[in-house]
Structure 1
Amino acid sequence: MDTMTIDCLDRDTIRRYRQRMDNLRPGHVWSELAVEDFLHRIGAMARDTDGKLRPTAAGLLMFGHEYEIVREFPHYFLDYQEHDRSATEDERWTDRIVSSSGDWSGNICDFYFRVYNRIAQDIKVPFKLEGTDRIDDTPLHKALREALANALIHADYYDRRGLVIQKWSDKIRIANPGAFRINVQEALVGGVSDPRNESLIKMFNLINVGERAGSGLPSIRTVWQKQGWQEPEIVESLNPDRTTLVLPLAANKVAAKSGDKKAAESLVLSQRSERTTFFNI
């Protein structure tokens, strides 16, 4: 990082990020700053021992060119796959976005928006009206943003294997390198967090992506319960450390059949006792 300069960062990504922030936070005190000063304020650049501004690790991940990112993070790799059917999970993808393709920046900021837009366009939920205005941003869309941002923020980019997101018609699976860093029960209750990349949280929060620390899993679970969908499943594997979140996009069968919310909750509890699944995000 000592030899990197602002030229290691993608100017177009920074421009789009600043435009989003300006739209969401008009008149913010940082909006008129020069690019390097702005990046310094948000934690994407820091001064070295000679007083020169250089990209931080978080700034490189968020805004960098992929070929520069892998100089610092050799195992860095982002992969989004779309599959036609859920019956054969190992079948070849039908569409794919990877960070190493060379036809886009490859950084996590651009990856987030490319992938979220692909996922969100297929989520069929009723829109709401606020007065006479149509509101398309539902709690489900917010939960999807939370799940995607959490994976990107909490990934261990020095670890082996990259971040992989797979989408089928009935579920989304998000797997990122790195184990979760707090107790499972604390994660389920919420309010406690030990983030791996705090500067990334700040950068995403400034464009209204992600909630307060420690609220991710509880908010996602609540939304899924209100949708009447099967419980999200989170599995942690070790050596190499990896955290996988599965988001079913299908109704809880007991609840759908009987219309009994308690029956649905009973099924979720019995499933938990039978499988070696750890909920931690």
Structure 2
Amino acid sequence: MKDDELKIIMRNSSPQVDSLILEHFSIDDLDPISLVSFKERVTLRYPNNGYESLSPEEFLIEIGVMRKNRTTNKVNPTKGVLLFLGKYNSIREIYPSFHMDYFNRKGNNERWTDRVATDEPAEHQMNIYNFYNIVKEKLNSVILSEFKLDDKNVRVENKQFNEAIRESFINTMAHADYDLGFPSIKIEIFDGWLRFINPGTMLISISEFVQGGISKPRNEIIMKLFRLLGESERQGFGGPQIFKSAVNNKFRIPEIYTNLESTELKLWYIDLTDSYPELTTKEKRVFECIVKAPGPISKRNIEELLNLSEYQSRKAIESLLATEKIEMVGRGSATKYIPRIGSKEMITQLQMIVSHLQQHYQ
């Protein structure tokens, strides 16, 4: 095992390193504009907590993100609050590879139409707080333009999907291993889908993430600061919220990939069949029919439901079998078709059913 891999495993076994204080840092290493904005928003959410009368440093001590160093008797920031509200250069002193990117890759452009990067000149200190606020506004604007108009010709906001985006975005930053040099945090939007990438593996299994109820954030301070803003309400239930949004909106089921070095989440805002542009129109119709069927479905039933000829249905089914999007069950006249066993769509649907049964019938 390589030394770098051993270090990663050791960090994974002892998460929440963002709670450690930085002995040689002070409130001067935090961006005062970010701090004032954050304090004002939290004070508005908790008007009875007396935050308004506290100085910035007293406020940070009160919420537990700055603490007194028992050795030096000085007050120091934690790693988490430095990442969240810090000055960019101060952050880079502790995390030399700190970098976050947002790309709008919609359309037929070879590169991108919009970008936000922490290492480019900006009017704000590019900490987590400012990056999140800037990119969240851009995502909301782009996504809103994708949805239908109401009878007054006004775009109808899909609140459930917006919540799924917010949870995905926050998870990307709260679960990142900032000590890793690669990959950096990356948020990308394409035609029909978004991608969220962060350094570090998930600290719970994908199944536990989908079913919810288990929370093991790598950066507890960062997650706490998001909760104080009201951006993340319930720990351990972001996963079910993300997948429930896809199911309820009939979007393609999100895809998660994780290994020792990185985690990637793909979030779709188009349905399953539209997310496979390589399929012909007839193949999409047949695939959708098989996916939405309550159980295995025969070729004859597909032909009747879609008004297809035997030749048309057979060619579409052969193509879907060849690309492993569906599976055949039974033989001869009893042959029927189902979504491919082991596909993320089927696994997720089964997990959602199990989770639903656990919540309502325990």
TM-score, with structure 1 as normaliser: 0.84
2:242 corresponds in structure 1 to: 220
Alpha-carbon distance change, 51 to 95 in structure 1, aligned in 2, over 3 angstroms:
same
Distance in 2 between residues matched to 1:160 and 1:264, nearest whole Å:
46
Distance in 2 between residues matched to 1:271 and 1:246, nearest whole Å:
20
Distance in 1 between residues matched to 2:125 and 2:49, nearest whole Å:
27
1:119 corresponds in structure 2 to: 139
Corresponding residue to 2:169 among 139, 144, 148 = 148
Distance in 2 between residues matched to 1:79 and 1:47, nearest whole Å:
34
Give CA-to-partner distance per residue, 1:230-272, whole Å, 9 cap, x none.
111111133xx10001111212228995887961788799467
Residue identity matched to 2:88: E
Alpha-carbon distance change, 7 to 248 in structure 1, aligned in 2, over 3 angstroms:
same
Aligned: 1:158 with 2:179? yes
Structure number with greater Rg is 2
| Structure 2 unaligned spans of 5+ | 1-21, 276-283, 296-324, 327-337, 349-362
Partner SS, residue 39 of structure 2: helix
Distance in 1 between residues matched to 2:54 and 2:175, nearest whole Å:
29
Alignment of 1:27-38 (within 5 A): 27-38=48-59
2:112 corresponds in structure 1 to: 93
C-alpha contact 1:80 1:164 (8 A) present in aligned 2? yes
Aligned: 1:178 with 2:200? yes
C-alpha contact 2:256 2:266 (8 A) present in aligned 1? yes
Partner SS, residue 121 of structure 1: helix
Percent identity reads 28
Give CA-to-partner distance per residue, 1:5-44, whole Å, 9 cap, x none.
1111001111111222233333333232111011112232
Distance in 2 between residues matched to 1:115 and 1:254, nearest whole Å:
26
2:342 corresponds in structure 1 to: 273
What root-mean-square deviation, in Å, do the aligned CA atoms of Structure 1 and Structure 2 show? 3.0
Distance in 2 between residues matched to 1:247 and 1:167, nearest whole Å:
9
**Which has more helix, going by share of residues?**
2
Q: Structure 1 stretches (4+) deviating beyond 6 angstroms?
A: 258-262, 264-269
C-alpha contact 1:146 1:211 (8 A) present in aligned 2? no
Residue identity matched to 2:342: S
Distance in 1 between residues matched to 2:229 and 2:293, nearest whole Å:
36
1:263 corresponds in structure 2 to: 292
C-alpha contact 1:127 1:138 (8 A) present in aligned 2? no
2:66 corresponds in structure 1 to: 45
C-alpha contact 1:254 1:263 (8 A) present in aligned 2? no
| Structure 1 unaligned spans of 5+ | 129-133
Once the 2 structures are TM-superposed, how far is the Cα of residue 175 of structure 1 from its aligned partner?
A: 0.3
